[in-house]
Amino acid sequence: MDRLPRWADVVLVPLVSLILAGAISALVLLSIGQSPVEAFNVMVEGALGSAYGWGYTLYYTTSFIFTGLAVTVAFHAGLFNIGGEGQAQLGALGVALVCLSLDWPHWTLALAAATMGAAIFGAAWAAVPAYLQAKRGSHIVITTIMFNYIAAALLVYLLVDVLRPDGQMDPASARFPAGAALPTFSEIPGIRQLYAVMGPDGVQRINSRGEPMYTGVPANVTLFLALAMAVVVWAILWQTRLGYQIRAFGKSEAAARYAGINPVFIIMVAMLLSGALAGMMSVNNVMGEAGRLLQNSSEGAGFIGIAVALMGRNHPLGVVLAALLFGFLYQGGAELGLILQIPPEMRIVVQGLVILFTGALDMMVRMLLTRIFGLFRSQKLGAA
Amino acid sequence: MAADGALAIELKGISKAFGPVQANKDINIAVPRGTIHGIIGENGAGKSTLMSILYGFYKADAGQIFIGGKLTAIPDSQSAIRAGIGMVFQHFKLVQNFTVLENVVLGAEEGQLLNTSLAKARKVLEALSRDYELDVDPDALVEDLSVGHQQRVEILKALYRQAEILILDEPTGVLTPAEADHLFRILKGLKEQGKTIILITHKLREIMEATDNVSVMRRGTMVATVKTAETSPEQLAELMVGRKVLLEVEKKPATPGAVVLKVEDLRVNDEHKVERLKGVSFEIRAGEILGIAGVAGNGQSELLAALGGMMRATGKVTLNGADLPLSGKGSDGQSRRRAGIAHVPEDRHHYGLILDFTAWENVAFGYFNEPEYQKNALFMDNEALRADTARKMEKFDVRPPIPGLAAKSFSGGNQQKIVVAREMEQNPDLLLVGQPTRGVDIGAIEFIHNQIIALRDAGKAVLLVSVELDEIMSLSDRIAVMFDGKLMGFRDPEKTDERELGMLMAGMTGKGEAA
C-alpha cells in the first residue's frame, strides 16, 4: 500500500492534526462570541511570554514527561497502562513519607531519596494489575482503572485519618522540612539570569533566609530529572536486551514465545518501570511545588500522559515535545480564564480537541495525507 | 456449451503502481469463455494485484476491462459480482458458526424475511450440487466441515450469485491430494457447463493438470500466454524466474550417524485441552532429514511447537542422549536454543519475524542473549549485530542487503532467507523446519532447499514439516505421515509415491499396516 515518507509521518501528521484542532477550537470560541485571535494571543503570551508563564508551562511539562514516559514503556510491551493517575498518587505518598521521615540536610539527598520512594510506591501500585495480567489474564486496562479509584480512596483515608497533623483543618499532610524543598528555576544560577532578562516572573518576596525569592514559579529541578528519565527510557528500550525483549513481546506475543521470551517477566518488568515513572511525577508537584501532600495531587496528569504518549508516537523525544505542547495548553488555557471572559472549561475543550485530533483521529489525517501524497506521486510518474 | 471462441474476460493495458512499485505494467490478457486459465508467477509478480483489480479491490491506474466483450468499470466488489465474477479466496471468508445455507445467503438476502431467501437458496443449492458434484449438507455448520468442504461452500457462494467467471486464488494450499483432485473434477464440470475459471497458483503440476491456457507473470508484466498442452513445467519455471531453474533437488545419498533426536510417546494438548499430538515416537540421526507429511492441522504444528519450546508436552525427548524438559523450567525457546536446536517456524509472519523490526533486530530474535551481541553487561552491541546481519545477508543472498530495512519491506522469499540464515548460522545439532518454502518464490526455494541439504551433509539432523508433498519427497531421507495427531508410518521416499502418501494423509493405512 501507499506509505507516507518518514518526515511527513513524524512532523506533518501531528502538525496538520494540531491545525485542525485549532481550527475547530476557533469555531467554538467564535460561537461563544470570543475572538480566536485574541484568545490565541492570550494563550501564547500567558504560557510563553514571560518567565512566569514559562515557569508554569515547564512545570506542567515536567509532570507530563513522566506520565507520558510511563505510558510509553507499557505501550512498547503491548500493555495499555491507564493507571498512571493512581500510580502517581501512590508515588506522591512515597514522596511525602520520605520527605517527612527526617529533617533533610540538603535537597539533593532529599531528591534522591524521594525519587526512590516515588518510584517504589508507583511501581508497587502497578505490580498488582501487572501480576493479575501476567498470571491470570485479567485485562490491564480494567484493573489499572480500578486501581485509580482505590488509590484515590486510599489517599483520602490516609490524609484525613493518618497523615493530617492534629488541629489542621484541610485533608493534607504536614509541611515538608525546609531541607526537602527543591530549587525552583528562579533559584538556579543561569536560569535565574535568563529569567531576569525575560521580565516579570511572579511576585518577588524575601524568603526566610533573607534572600529574594519568587513565588508562583513552580518549575523546578525535577525537569532535569524528567529529561534524564527520557534518555534512560530511550536507552532501555533501544539499547538493552530487556528493551529488545519488551519491544518484541509488545509487537507479537506469539513470536516472543517462539523466541523464548518469558511473558510473565516482561509484563511484570514493563509495568513496574511504567508505574515507577508515573510515581516519579509526584516529585515534581508534591516536593517541587506544594511542599506537602494534598488530596488529588496528580491533578489528572496521569491521564494526560496517555495523550502525550499517543502524540509523541511512543518515543521519548516525541513524548518530551508533546509534553511541552500540553504544558503550553495547560498554562495558556488557564490564562484564558484569567484575562478574557472565557470560562475555564474552554481549556478542557481545547485540550480535548487536541487529544481527539492527535490521538483518535490520527488515522483520518494520516489517510488523507497518504492520499494527497499518492496523487502527487502518480502525477509525477505520469509526467515522467 | 463448451468453449465457443468468445472471450469471457479481456484486460487491455492494465497498470497499477503502489508508490514507487509498479505492481502491474501494461497487462494484456484474453480468457476465452468455457476454459480454465492458469495464472502463475512468483510471489510479488503481480498476480494478486491483477485479480484484486478485476474484483474491484483496487482501481487500475490505466487500462480497460472487457467482460463478455463489453467495456466494464469495476469500482468495487459489488460491481464485480454484478458483472458475473466470483472469487474464491485463499483464506475463506465464511462465518464459522453459520450453516452452509446461511453462509451462502449472507449478503445476498432478498426481502426482510430470512426464510424466503433460505428456502430459495436451498433449492438452488440442491440443483448446483446435482450438476457439479458439489455436494455439501446445507444445514451443516461451517465449523464442522473439512477444509475441502469449506472451499466448496465458497464456490457455491459464487455460483449462487450467478458467477460466470470464477477466480480461485491458490485453492489447493490447504487440501489433501485427493481433495485437490476432486476440486479439479469440479472445475472441469463447471467448465463443461460454460463457466470460465481463472486459477492462480504457484504449483506447476496443477497448471499442467487442470488448465487449458496459462499466463506467466514476472515482476508486474505478463511475459507469456501459452497453451498448456504445448508447454512443459521446465519452460514455465524458466518463464517465471527468467532463468533456468532446477526443479529437482540434487543430493547425495544420506550417511546417517548417531541418533540425535529421540522422541517417545510425545503428547500435546492445546489451550482448549484437546489432545493434538497423541503419542508420537520417532528418531532422527545425524546427517538425516526426516520429513513429516500431512494435511495442515493434523498435529505437525504442535510437534514443532513442543520441540521448539513453545508448547508444553508430555512424553520423553532426548537430544544427543540428554533429556529435554517438556514443561516447566528449561522447556522454553531459550533453553532449546542453548541445547542446540534451531527452529525455522511454520509461519514466519506470526512467529519467525517481528515485521516492524529491522532485519538486524530480527537476526537477534531468539539469540539476543548471545555473548557476541553484547557490548557489556548493560547494553547490546547493535553495531556488531548489524555487521553480523550484513554478513549473513551476503551469505544467504538476501536482497536488498540492507540490515536497517524493516522486515516487512522484504519479499516473502527474502524474509524466509533471513529466518533461515539466522537459524542455520547458529550451527545447531538439530534443525526444525516448518513449511520452509511457503510463500517463497521459485528462485529462493531452490536456494533454501540446497541450504537444508548442505546442513544435512554437514552431519546435522533435520526435522522437516511441510504440506507440500513434492518438497517432502525430494528433500527427505525418510518420510513419516502424520494424521490426526499420530504418525501413520514411515516410508522410504525412493520406494513410495504420492498415491500411497496421499492415502496415509487421509488416514487410510496402506499395505494393511496398523495406524
Min Cα distance A312 → chain B (Å) is 18
Give the model confidence (pLDDT) of A308-367 as tens digits.
998 888 999 999 999 999 999 888 888 887 777 788 777 788 888 888 887 777 788 888
Q: Model confidence over A177-206: pLDDT tens digits?
A: 998 989 888 788 777 777 766 655 554 555
* Residue A168 near chain B (CB below 8 Å): no
Q: Which of B241, B268, B300 is where one domain is finished?
A: B241
B366:A260 CB<8 A:
yes
- CATH code for the domain of B198: 3.40.50.300
CATH (domain of A196):
1.10.3470
- State how far the Cα of A258 lies from the Cα of B333, in Å rounded to an integer: 6
Q: B385 by DSSP, 3-state: which?
A: helix
Domain co-membership, B228 together with B296: no
Per the domain annotation, does B325 fall within a domain?
A: yes
Are B212 and B356 members of one domain?
no
pLDDT of residue A197: 66
Q: Is the pLDDT at A73 greater than 80, yes or no?
A: yes
Taking an 8 Å cut-off on Cβ atoms, the answer to whether A245 and B368 are in contact is yes
Higher pLDDT among residues B478 and A369, named by residue: B478
Query: Is B474 found in the same domain as B403?
Result: yes
Number of structural domains, chain B?
Answer: 2
B479 and B400, same structural domain? Answer: yes
Mean pLDDT by 10 residues, chain B (515 residues): 71 86 88 93 81 89 91 89 89 88 85 82 86 84 85 89 90 80 90 92 85 91 92 86 74 91 95 90 96 89 94 95 92 94 92 94 94 92 95 91 90 89 94 89 85 94 91 94 93 90 80 45
Q: Is residue A288 part of a domain?
A: yes
Residue B341 near chain A (CB below 8 Å): no
Same domain, B230 and B297: no
Do residues B272 and B196 both lie within one domain?
A: no
Predicted local confidence at residue B413, as pLDDT: 83
pLDDT band at A211 (very low <50, low <70, confident <90, very high): low
Residue B246 counted as domain residue: no
Quote the pLDDT of residue A216: 56
Q: Do A252 and B368 touch (CB under 8 A)?
A: no
Per the structure, the count of domains in chain A is 1
Question: Is A253 part of any domain?
Answer: yes
Q: Where in the sequence is the domain holding A146, given as residue range(s)?
A: 35-340
The answer to whether residue A290 is domain-embedded is yes
Residues above pLDDT 70, as percent of chain A: 91
List the single residue in A244, A257, A378 with the smallest CB-CB distance to B17: A378
3-state secondary structure string across chain A: CCCCCHHHHHHHHHHHHHHHHHHHHHHHHHHCCCCHHHHHHHHHHHHHCCHHHHHHHHHHHHHHHHHHHHHHHHHHCCCCCCCHHHHHHHHHHHHHHHHHHCCCCCHHHHHHHHHHHHHHHHHHHHHHHHHHHHHHCCCHHHHHHHHHHHHHHHHHHHHHHHCCCCCCCCCECCCCCHHHCCCEHHHCCCHHHHHHHHCCCCEEEECCCCCEEEECCCCECHHHHHHHHHHHHHHHHHHEHHHHHHHHHHHCHHHHHHHCCCHHHHHHHHHHHHHHHHHHHHHHHHHHHHCCCECCCCCCHHHHHHHHHHHCCCCHHHHHHHHHHHHHHHHHHHHHHHHCCCCCHHHHHHHHHHHHHHHHCHHHHHHHHHHHHHHHHHHHHHHC
Q: Within this chain, do residues B230 and B296 fall inside the same structural domain, yes or no? A: no
Q: Which of B241, B268, B289 is the last residue of a domain?
A: B241
Question: What value does the mean pLDDT take over residues A51-56?
Answer: 86
- Mean pLDDT of all residues in chain A? 88
* φ, ψ at A304 (rounded to 5°): -60, -30
Over residues A225-264, the pLDDT tens digits come to 999 999 999 999 999 999 999 999 999 999 999 999 999 9
Query: Final residue of a domain: which of B196, B214, B241?
Result: B241
> Cβ contacts (< 8 Å) between B353 and chain A: which residues?
255
**In this structure, are B217 and B83 located in the same domain?**
yes
Question: How confident is the model at residue B2, as a pLDDT?
Answer: 45
* Geometric angle at alpha carbon B462, from B459 and B466, rounded to 5°: 150
Residue numbers in B near A378 (CB within 8 A): 17, 61
Residue B391 in domain? yes
Residues 243-282 of chain A whose Cβ lies under 8 A from any Cβ of chain B: 244-245, 247-248, 251-252, 254-255, 257-262
Same domain, B237 and B265: no
Q: What is the pLDDT of residues A4-48, one digit of tens each?
A: 777 777 788 888 888 999 999 999 989 988 888 998 998 898 888
Given a contact cutoff of 8 angstroms between Cβ atoms, the answer to whether B393 and B265 are in contact is no
B45 and B100 together in one domain: yes
Look up the domain containing B406 and give its range: 259-512
Which residue of B334, B353, B364 is in closest CB contact with A244? B364
| Same domain flag for B183 and B286 | no
Interface mutation vs chain A, best among B324, B329, B337, B368, most A CBs within 10 Å: B368
What's the rounded Cα separation, in Å, for the pair A126 and A66? Answer: 15
pLDDT reported for residue A58: 94
Q: Is B263 found in the same domain as B227?
A: no
Give domain status of residue B272, yes or no. Answer: yes
Q: How far is B362 from chain A (nearest CA, A)?
A: 9
Q: Is residue A360 part of a domain?
A: no
